[in-house]
Structure 1
Amino acid sequence: MPTPTSSGPRLSRTLSVWQAVGLSVALMAPSMAANINPQGTVTSAGRAVPLAFLLAGVAVLLVAYGFVRLCQYYHHAGSVYAFVGATLGARSGVVAGWGLLGTYIFYGVVTSSATGIFGTAFLQEIGVWPHPPSWAPFILVAVALALALALTISPAKRGTTILLSVEGATVALILVVSAIILVRLVSGSAPDDHGFTLSVFAVQPGTSTSALFLGVVFGFLSFAGFEAAATLGEEAAEPRRDIPRAILGTAIFGGVYFTVVTAVEMMGFGADAKGVAAFGKSPSLLGDLGSSYVGSWVGHIITLGAAISAFGCCLACMVGASRLLFALSRDTSGGRGPGRVSRTGTPAIAAGIVATGMALIIAVCVAFFSAEAEDTFIWSGTIGTLILLVAYVLTTLGAIRLVFVQRRMPVPMWQIVIPLAALLILGYTLYRNVIPYPSSGPPRWFPIVSGGWLLIAVVAVLVAPGVSRRLGRALAENEGISLSENTSAGPVAAPDTSG
């Protein structure tokens, strides 16, 4: 397998598998996601929210196969930028890396907005701020971004440990509450005579397949981040062992967790029309259920936990985005600007640029579109996910080329059906979110902004071929690969001499 030989700036190699898991779990933010993301699905999928999350979970597991194989072969702070660049060519790598960078930035807006939403709701629930104005959540949004920046430029070992501890405690509470709700549903002691039913995994009459896959987008939004550990490839002590384990373990956990919890949530509110409507209007799904099924104090704790989870995810987004920007900048201009490592061994300048970008997106939404925190959450979530799906497609194609075309790993040929199935689901989800094209309201801008972000990278690599060549050489040096004679084919991995 290739061994990095670059003399350029390198990140400190000090992280364990659990700290890699911490970043992935924190960016996935299961506590926050379970409290708010399913509401984005219910508007199109109705009671079949758990089915949409199950489909997203299956797709993520299929996509994870490609990430695992690539991480077993390469380790690089640029994640998909390096994976796609090393397998499909430097130009494709730039598009993929720029796409994932955009996803993390937009998700930083999503999660900082959620921090403000849940934080304000908690203060309102306990009577500290009984009647907050509509702009109140943005105060906490600003605090979240500033604190996330401060933690990002500190050593990643400290930050990821905090992320894993906070998220783990909050998830544990949610699982306990979910278990209590499930027991009451099965025993027939639930409020309003709600009961256990598997109809939540069936599409209700009148709901089309297209509508179901519109809802799947918010399933991907919830799972997004399972691959974040890949950005720590240069900081993990045993990257080819620990990073694949972190990615696969996080994907499996997310699949089980979100499917079960969303099913409990939908059954807890009721699978009928009244319950679906209440589900969609809830300010905190598990907070409301905790208050109804256990006690009001549980609802308050879960709402606070969701706010903390959202902040942890914001921090993870900033950590992941800063390392992607660092890798792209380092390979373009060396150890200058965003490609410079601070005295603490972290990409501090890149982190500052990422934080500024997140703040600017929020400022534009507020100044030009009179957006509230709920708007910045939904808008940025959809845009970021559409970009992410494209990055996943390119990564999966890169894995197919490395494993099944170049045959760089001893893998049975039948396993090609796994990444091919991933491409099928990813492609169909993208298609259903563009066709038929949204004709009115904010949704009509989502494909435009997503496509525009990716178009920036496409134009850049076409009009500046010299930059692409420098990136290709940098990938060759950092990853121990050699460029093929046909430069359009991209880099080719060097023979494995590591034994």
Structure 2
Amino acid sequence: MANSNLKKDNLSIIETIALSVAIIAPTAAMSINVSLMSLSASFSEPLIFFISMVIVGLVSYSVIKFNHYFSSSGSLYTFTEKTLGEKFGFLTGWALLLAYVMLAAGCCAELGAFFSKFLNYFGIQIAWLPLSMFFSLGIVILGIIDAKISTRIMLAMEGISILLIFILSIVILFKVGSTKGLSPIPFKTNKNSFSTLASTSVLAFLSFIGFESASSLGEETKNPKKFIPLAIGSAVFVTGIFYLLSSYSQVIGFGVDAKGLKALSTSSLPLTDLSTKYISRTFGIFLLFSASLSCFSCSLGSACAGSRILFAMSKDGIISKKLSIIHKKHCTPYIGIILITIVAMFLQLILFKKDGIEAFNYLATIGSLAIIVSYLFTSIGAVVFFKRTKEIKNLNIFIPILSIAALLYVLYANIYPIPEFPTNTFPYIVLIWLVIGFILNERFNKNAKIAVLDIAKEGLDL
């Protein structure tokens, strides 16, 4: 009989934190997101990161509270299913699955782009797509092995990368501060409308995607009700502070004038360019390599978290039972990992004519919108849960309501004013995905009811 149990008490606090940090991938986020955000928000990236950190912090409050009550590989899917019912639970898991698949595909495309540029320094010319396809095989292999090993590998990759960016940021702050002085401009709106800041914040939300992923280790962590909340809180606020430091140093590093804005917004490798300017070309090459490692760990972490969502939904009988089969040796949901990686590879193949960074931008933005929907359902579920358990006192009810309002506005800002093509299609791609999920769920419920009636009829005949 096929094994359908994840390895219990396998992960310590280190491995639990590692998955959230790996999917958030601070190095990958800081390697390109600030530059992309500057196209619409000029110098206000640190302000947007601060606002996004506050909103994500509000959402994380509900996720942390849920983890005190439920320990499951289903993460947000399980929390919403327990509070809003099977239908909303399925839609939450369905949206979360889209987010992880898109992030796995997008970060792998970004990995191909970064590693291609890294090889260029040594005179080797290889396009991003063949590289991303090659690294996808490594993602499958590492995803299938023991979660303790894969999470530690991800944490090591990200730790080295973060250290290098931290060093660069401190050098920039010191050199700019001692010559031109540190400017407060990056923390101002800079004539950007609130709607512009909100729509641009999708890229900032993208930088936080994965903070909740430690919840998917609920069945494998030694002390889930203690370790997982600690991992989530650390992932949000420690990473958020790192983002503020790095985004601010990038903006002032290029310069808070028209020339600096143009240089930042047109740079495909802002950290490498800043390294060359403030430290050395060699340091920039190392940083580019570390950014590639960060993208790899993000794609790997997304596949691992997504496979556990599939595992939980499969165990509940919502999708194929084959997805709940566990690897005999490593006790990991290997079929889900392989499936997610194959879909991610297919998405990258569709975008083969695009640059790897552009492919990342498309895929990851769709993933960001999808996970905002998951956060929204989870926050609504928290309000229902706190009311049901009579935890309405203090901030328990106010914080989820505040997060709901903020998330709704961010979604609205990405629909109106209507953005340019193809960005204007992304919200509708998520909507179509949710409609497909709704139809699948209705069909499953209908089939399940028919099966129950048939069994009952057979019993009466006997």
TM-score range (shorter-chain normalised) is over 0.9
CA separation of 1:40/1:92 partners in 2, compared to 1, >3 Å: closer, same or farther?
A: same
SS at match of 1:128: coil
CA separation of 1:465/1:182 partners in 2, compared to 1, >3 Å: closer, same or farther?
A: same
User: Percent identity among equivalent residues?
Assistant: 30
Which of 165, 181, 191 matches 1:174?
A: 165
Alignment partner, residue 385 of structure 1: 368
Which of 302, 308, 325 matches 1:317?
A: 302
CA separation of 1:212/1:468 partners in 2, compared to 1, >3 Å: closer, same or farther?
A: farther
Counterpart CA distance in 1 for 2:103 and 2:285 is 25
Do residues 47 (structure 1) and 29 (structure 2) align?
A: no
| RMSD of Structure 2 on Structure 1 (CA) | 1.9
Q: CA deviation at 1:178?
A: 0.7
Q: CA deviation at 1:334?
A: 8.9
Alignment partner, residue 33 of structure 2: 37
Counterpart CA distance in 1 for 2:22 and 2:381 is 26
Alignment partner, residue 9 of structure 1: 4
After TM superposition, list the pairs within 5 Å mapping 1:235-254 onto structure 2. Answer: 235-254=220-239
Alignment partner, residue 351 of structure 1: 337
- Post-superposition Cα deviations, 1:347-382, rounded to whole Å, max 9, x if no partner, equal 11111111111111112233xxx3331221111011
Length-normalised TM-score, structure 1 = 0.86
- Post-superposition Cα deviations, 1:161-188, rounded to whole Å, max 9, x if no partner, equal 1111111111011111111110111111
Partners of 1:389 and 1:426 within 8 A in 2: yes
Q: CA deviation at 1:459?
A: 1.8
SS at match of 2:354: coil
Alignment partner, residue 262 of structure 1: 247
Partners of 2:114 and 2:289 within 8 A in 1: yes
Query: Which one-letter code corresponds to 1:265 in the other structure?
Result: Q
Do residues 434 (structure 1) and 419 (structure 2) align?
A: no
Counterpart CA distance in 1 for 2:424 and 2:411 is 14
Counterpart CA distance in 1 for 2:320 and 2:44 is 50
Q: CA deviation at 1:285?
A: 1.6
SS at match of 1:415: coil
Counterpart CA distance in 2 for 1:469 and 1:264 is 59
- Post-superposition Cα deviations, 1:235-278, rounded to whole Å, max 9, x if no partner, equal 00111111111011111112111112101110000111111111
Partners of 1:195 and 1:267 within 8 A in 2: no
Alignment partner, residue 109 of structure 1: 105
Q: List runs of 5+ in structure 1 lacking aligned partners.
A: 1-6, 189-193, 471-499
Counterpart CA distance in 2 for 1:93 and 1:386 is 18
Counterpart CA distance in 2 for 1:468 and 1:23 is 35
After TM superposition, list the pairs within 5 Å mapping 1:321-332 onto structure 2. Answer: 321-332=306-317
Q: CA deviation at 1:420?
A: 1.5
Which of 438, 443, 457 matches 1:458?
A: 438
CA separation of 1:28/1:334 partners in 2, compared to 1, >3 Å: closer, same or farther?
A: closer
Partners of 1:231 and 1:323 within 8 A in 2: yes
SS at match of 2:68: helix
Q: CA deviation at 1:333?
A: 6.6
Do residues 286 (structure 1) and 271 (structure 2) align?
A: yes
CA separation of 1:334/1:80 partners in 2, compared to 1, >3 Å: closer, same or farther?
A: same
Counterpart CA distance in 1 for 2:144 and 2:295 is 19
Do residues 406 (structure 1) and 388 (structure 2) align?
A: yes
Counterpart CA distance in 1 for 2:3 and 2:72 is 13
Which of 132, 137, 146 matches 1:146?
A: 137
Length-normalised TM-score, structure 2 = 0.93
Q: CA deviation at 1:444?
A: 2.6
Alignment partner, residue 282 of structure 2: 297
Alignment partner, residue 418 of structure 1: 399
